Amino acid sequence: MSESPTPPGERDADGPDTGAPDGDGRWLTKGVAGVGLASFFSDSGHEIATAALPGFLSSTLHAGAGVLGVIEGLSDALTGLTKLAGGPLADRPRRRAALARGGYLVTALATGAIGAATAVWQVAVLRALAWGSRGVRSPSRDALLASLAPRHAYGRAFGVERAGDNLGAVAGPLLAALLVSLIGVRHAMYCAAGPGLLAAVSITFAAREARRTYADADNRARVRYDVAALRRAGIARPLVPIAMFEMGNAATTLLILRATELLHTGTRSATAAASLAIVVYAAHNAFAALVAYLAGHWLDRAGPRPVFVTGAVCYVAGYGLFAAGPHGWPALLAAFVLAGCGIGCAEPSESSLLAWMLPDAMRGSGFGVLGAVQAVGDLASSAAVGLAWSLFGPAVGFGYAAAWMLASAATGLGPWLRTRDTRA
């Protein structure tokens, strides 16, 4: 394979743009829409559970914040491991549908079953099962989406998927608040299974659309990571700026905590500050959804480099505001919006980049590696920011995250995001 500026809009000094034409609007097929709906429904369901879980543990099972932290930390770590494990499985085209459908189904059932838990250990097991299933299904879903979308529309397709996910993060907490007030926290946890089941239905319809693209695919390949082949495809280079980005991608709960502290002034109670911080945080997810959709169109015209770098720069600005510590909600709203724009640009860029550069038979493994890098980076970032905050203050913590984002943007401007041309 020869070096080539594969993503649309990228050029090198020797020739013109090699991207495919913009297309005739048929990129938003039933299959692509099905994947986007699956992400929306699934994220709505697990955000209902995430929003209700603290109250369920404290009021129903009488557990404290330390227990919640352990459960969530272990579940997030398991997600990263299972994404890595699910990668080679997704290299088999005809297995992707079953893995994706099964992953969504198990996630839904395990999440809803938390409502029946009577002990903390049961919550931990069910949460781990749900998050582990999320990890296994992710490479299959992304590889499935890449097989559904035309090459010139990978950016838009992954933008739709990320937009659906972020819209679910808006709808889920709102539904949780309504359900808890109407039927109580335990029954709200039961209801979290409903959107997840709809996600399984949506991905099933998407899989039917994809069958035509891999009807004759060889499904007998060994399930393993071909590290040498991934290296020859050039995957190591773009993972450098991506890893730097994820090392600065702190958990949004830290952003909410910072906003809550800043909004708790002499004229505003702690409860009112927490409520206002959550409302402002909703703008983060709403803008992430909008920007992800728009960034998908930009990706198909300009390639991943400018979109990814823009996302990192948005985070630098947003973290700068969190570090400065404004007490007014408009400035904090701007900080959350900037962070939402950052993730809305970065996530579709990362997924589209791998879809462009890897052949279909290696995309599952590639998405598995990407998911593991994201999970490990996010965990390390959140831990480092939290520790720096505790020892030296929030300005140092957010300054640390901003420094990684700045390094990611600078590296992304170099040759690291150049990809190899494949014709999958």
Which domains does the chain possess?
28-213 (1.20.1250.20), 232-418 (1.20.1250.20)
Q: Confidence class of residue 76 from pLDDT cuts 50, 70 and 90?
A: confident
Asked whether the beta carbons of 157 and 354 are under 8 A apart, the reply is no
**Beta partners for 3?**
420
Whether residue 36 has pLDDT greater than 90? yes
Q: What is the pLDDT of residue 79?
A: 83
Asked whether the beta carbons of 9 and 307 are under 8 A apart, the reply is no
Residues 6 or more apart whose CB falls under 8 angstroms from that of 81 comprise: 132, 135, 372, 375
More confident residue, 269 or 348: 348
Q: What share of the chain is helix, strand, coil (3-state, %, to 5)?
A: 80, 0, 20
Coil, strand or helix at 218: coil
Whether residue 112 has pLDDT greater than 70? yes
Single pTM value for the model: 0.80
Q: What is the pLDDT of residue 22?
A: 41
Lowest mean pLDDT among 57-71, 79-93, 139-153, 245-259: 57-71
Amino acid letter for position 94: R
Lowest mean pLDDT among 91-95, 168-172, 234-238, 328-332: 91-95
Residues 6 or more apart whose CB falls under 8 angstroms from that of 167 comprise: 40, 43, 285, 286, 289
Q: What is the pLDDT of residue 69?
A: 59
Asked whether the beta carbons of 131 and 79 are under 8 A apart, the reply is yes
Q: Confidence class of residue 2 from pLDDT cuts 50, 70 and 90?
A: very low
Q: What is the pLDDT of residue 424?
A: 38
Asked whether the beta carbons of 414 and 352 are under 8 A apart, the reply is no
What's the rounded Cα separation, in Å, for the pair 259 and 253? 10
Q: What is the pLDDT of residue 44?
A: 92
More confident residue, 382 or 42: 42
Q: What would the mean pLDDT of 402-423 be, rounded to a whole number?
A: 74
Q: What would the mean pLDDT of 334-363 be, rounded to a whole number?
A: 91
Residue whose C-alpha is closest to residue 78's, from 136, 142, 131, 138: 131
For 116-166, the pLDDT digits (tens) are: 999 889 988 998 899 888 888 999 999 889 888 888 889 899 999 999 998
Whether residue 277 has pLDDT greater than 70? yes
Q: What is the pLDDT of residue 243?
A: 93
Whether residue 309 has pLDDT greater than 60? yes
Residue whose C-alpha is closest to residue 220's, from 103, 96, 94, 102: 94
For 218-242, the pLDDT digits (tens) are: 555 556 677 778 888 778 888 999 9
Buried b (16+ CB within 10 A) or exposed e, 217-234: beeeeeeebbeeebeebb
Whether residue 64 has pLDDT greater than 70? no
Lowest mean pLDDT among 13-17, 145-149, 207-211, 306-310: 13-17
Q: Confidence class of residue 5 from pLDDT cuts 50, 70 and 90?
A: very low
- Mean per-residue pLDDT of the chain: 82
Q: What is the pLDDT of residue 15?
A: 31
What's the rounded Cα separation, in Å, for the pair 84 and 361? 16
Q: What would the mean pLDDT of 158-185 be, rounded to a whole number?
A: 88
Structure tokens at 334: 């701007």
Residue whose C-alpha is closest to residue 250's, from 185, 181, 331, 315: 315
Residue whose C-alpha is closest to residue 313's, from 346, 290, 286: 346
Structure tokens at 314: 């948005």
Q: What is the pLDDT of residue 58?
A: 72
Check residue 3 and report its DSSP letter.
Answer: B
Amino acid letter for position 208: R
Asked whether the beta carbons of 145 and 233 are under 8 A apart, the reply is no
Q: What is the pLDDT of residue 212?
A: 63
Rounded to the nearest 10°, the torsion over CA 183, 189, 190, 193 is 130
Whether residue 321 has pLDDT greater than 50? yes
What's the rounded Cα separation, in Å, for the pair 100 and 116? 25
Whether residue 347 has pLDDT greater than 60? yes
What does each C-alpha distance from 333 to 30, 350, 382 come to in angstroms?
Answer: 35, 26, 21
Coil, strand or helix at 420: strand
What's the rounded Cα separation, in Å, for the pair 53 and 101? 25
